[in-house]
Chains A and B, each alone.
Chain A
């Protein structure tokens, strides 16, 4: 990719070319040449979309819920971008991306762009590239971006740094009141979704979740999460319910953020984190590039294995030698 091609690519994305959008995402995902240039050019065109995150344990119904929410947003005339994250194998690097299969209704809708990505070993349930991917989709010009994380457990909470409104999906049978009392994933929820609410145990679990919200130490003037029962799949269409309320809840939360000036604060916090992540990545790349061919990296690692050194001392030494004093 030459710089000229990148300019053209970004212009096409801004003009709504979804093929170029898809290509740019691949480029960014693989940190290929041109990645930085794309982000630089895309950046001024971001910040306009409402970003909604959906997280929760695997099998809770995140994709099916996402599918229904896309349909609701489309009925309101909104265009939607969707990022679906599934786990990469820590051993082979491969991934089975199986969320798109739940979204067949939107397969041909030009007002919906769906992209499946693999977590690529990122802790916290989101690939580092997710930040950039959301920005590119924003620049493409959608009203809403939905980010669905991979099935999370108890404290994969990266998503709150990416989204305006975070939905955490629970199902009956995920535990008792003790689970609901634990710190972690519940605390990142702006909307708590009790999915599969037609199953046994749902009512009791809703009470536990509401109890957890009631006793949470929420500062005066801050948003209080609400619990929303939801049924996404049923033999009888009439039993499928709860989703208009969820949409309303999402907008209420977004309005709340706007009115309380919390959006500015979120933006600041997000940029702080993003800056740190980019710095970390670029610095690491720079240093490893510098060490390439010197055999030093291997030497350091061997010395740690041999017990003559430890990772902290090695990092300190690298920083002293190559960054702070620039001896080489």
Chain B
């Protein structure tokens, strides 16, 4: 943990994806790891999520996808993040992501993709080591 600051994470679903069991489990695991996690729930629009990242001064934005919308919404999120100069926010994606989508997402600007089956230690350590603020 840098500068003795509590890590603040926003976890959210985007669009019409109605499956949030995984996202909720991730929220709980991050909480147990000592992070402060804002959960935004389902059916959020891109602009709403960006506003939350700004207002909450989040260190990490985690997008959860279980319905194959990652290639549609992620570029919009990245675009809005750039527009709002949120380049010090760590953007990660999790969920049922096909392997072939990973390089595409990374090219868009996602820092790391955690597929279903990832171990909690992996993403907890990743966040702890890579927050930019």
Contact = CB atoms under 8 A, between A and B. Distances in A.
A113 B48 CA distance: 12
A92 B40 CA distance: 22
A94 B57 contact: no
B6 A114 contact: no
B36 A104 contact: no
A89 interface: yes
B18 interface: no
A217 B51 CA distance: 47
B47 interface: yes
B35 interface: yes
B89 to A, nearest CB: 12
Contacts of B45: 107-108
Given A100-B40, A104-B44, A108-B51, A93 B56 contact: no
A265 interface: no
Contacts of B4: 30
Interface in A97-128: 97-98, 100-101, 104, 107-108, 113-116, 118, 120
B6 A30 contact: yes
Interface in B1-36: 3-6, 8, 27-28, 30-36
B102 to A, nearest CB: 28
B125 interface: no
A284 to B, nearest CB: 16
B11 to A, nearest CB: 10
B45 to A, nearest CB: 8
A95 interface: yes
B52 A32 contact: no
B51 A107 contact: yes
Nearest to B4: A30
B71 interface: no
A60 interface: no
25 contacts: A19-B84, A22-B56, A29-B6, A32-B5, A88-B36, A89-B32, A94-B30, A94-B31, A94-B32, A94-B35, A94-B36, A95-B36, A96-B28, A96-B31, A96-B39, A97-B39, A98-B39, A100-B38, A104-B41, A104-B48, A108-B45, A108-B47, A108-B51, A115-B55, A118-B6
Given A92-B31, A94-B36, A100-B40, 16 more contacts: A18-B55, A22-B55, A30-B5, A32-B3, A88-B36, A89-B32, A89-B34, A93-B6, A95-B36, A95-B37, A100-B56, A101-B41, A108-B48, A115-B55, A116-B56, A120-B6
